[in-house]
Chains A and B, each alone.
Chain A
Amino acid sequence: MPTEDFQMATERLFAEERVKSLEWSFDFTWNGVVVDQWAQELLDKYSSAKALTGHGVNLSPLSARFSKRQQEWLKLAKEEFKTRNYVHASEHFGFSEAGPIKHGAPLSVPMDDASLTTGKEMLKRYADATGCPVGLENLAFAFSVNDVKRQGQFIDELISSVDGFLLLDLHNTYCQIANFGVSELELLNSYPLEKVREIHISGGSWSPSVSGKRAAVRRDTHDDGVPQEVFNLAALALKLCPNIEFVILERLGNTMFSLEAQSEFRDDFESMEQILELCYA
């Protein structure tokens, strides 16, 4: 997020040239948000270095109806990918646009032939628009434990249709482990781990359980430091996934205004650096 707090937290990391790649949610600016000069310069620098990855947020690839908004989104993506040099492009598994809602929360889908056909068609359009490899990020949200168990194979079928990749978000994985009590190894192994080109790490929060079935519900809010459990999952994923090229530390904008939060973000970055050094030493 190109926000003031993000700049304050990361300025030192960029100055010391410790940030080896950058991910840009390129549709962030399509609502008229102006990106400051310092962020533009970073994007240009990483684009020139072939170290910039693109991450779409609002395509809604599993929406059953191909809308005018999505058509326009793909046109804008095509222009964006001519402007900057992205290594690859990712999007989120699930649907958010349907009925009277053009943007909402990405939700899971019934994993049947209709959803598979819909998703394959949209990924093909996404690949055509961006002209680079495209992939899907696993979803934290699941309506049920069966959603959790089915998602890995279903994503594999989707991305295989475009020779695509999996973006494995480990906080999303942690949410499912915490909320549904599934085994971390079993869950990771339900995904096509050889197709993972990128992993995400981030923090989140807890909210109350209305059912009383669980102590609390883990939420992917990106507004706190990375929990130890996610670092542990990252170390495990780095061992299990032979083709990882990018590790991205995510944080929501405007959530790091205290010096303590900014320092915590840098500590998380350093922890991830150390894990990478240990894994690839």
Chain B
Amino acid sequence: DTLKLQEFQDALNELLASGKSYAEIAETLKTDPKFDHYRDYINEFDPDMVEVARELMGKWAQRVE
């Protein structure tokens, strides 16, 4: 389970900081198999909060390099 959580967090952070539009992010959350393990959790996501997270990550995310 911890590895599944790692995979989920990695994919979510990367997606939110990708610079993609809200619509692209929402579609990826629905269809990317990386999110399958937490599908029930993701299905609860509020669109406004996904947009807030996208904006915040676009503004503040620092990549490892």
Considering only residues 34-63 of chain B, those with a C-beta below 8 Å from chain A are: 38, 41, 44-53, 55-57, 60-63
Whether the pair B46, A141 counts as a contact (CB closer than 8 A) is no
Does chain A have a CB within 8 A of B31? no
Whether the pair B62, A102 counts as a contact (CB closer than 8 A) is yes
Does chain B have a CB within 8 A of A245? no
**A→B interface (CB under 8 Å):** 63-65, 95, 97-105, 107, 109-110, 112-115, 117-118, 141-147, 179-180, 207, 209-211, 213-214, 217, 219
Provide a sorted-by-A list of 21 A–B residue pairs whose CB atoms are within 8 angstroms: A65-B10, A98-B12, A101-B17, A101-B62, A102-B64, A104-B60, A104-B61, A107-B12, A109-B5, A109-B9, A112-B5, A113-B1, A141-B52, A142-B46, A144-B49, A207-B52, A207-B55, A210-B48, A210-B51, A211-B47, A214-B48
Whether the pair A104, B44 counts as a contact (CB closer than 8 A) is no
Whether the pair B52, A144 counts as a contact (CB closer than 8 A) is no
Whether the pair A110, B38 counts as a contact (CB closer than 8 A) is yes
Q: Which of B11, B47, B64 has the most CB of A within 10 A?
A: B64
| The one of A100, A113, A214 that contacts B63, using a Cβ cutoff of 8 Å | A100
Q: Which of B9, B47, B61 has the most CB of A within 10 A?
A: B9
Question: Chain A contacts of B62 at CB under 8 A?
Answer: 101-104
Whether the pair A114, B2 counts as a contact (CB closer than 8 A) is yes
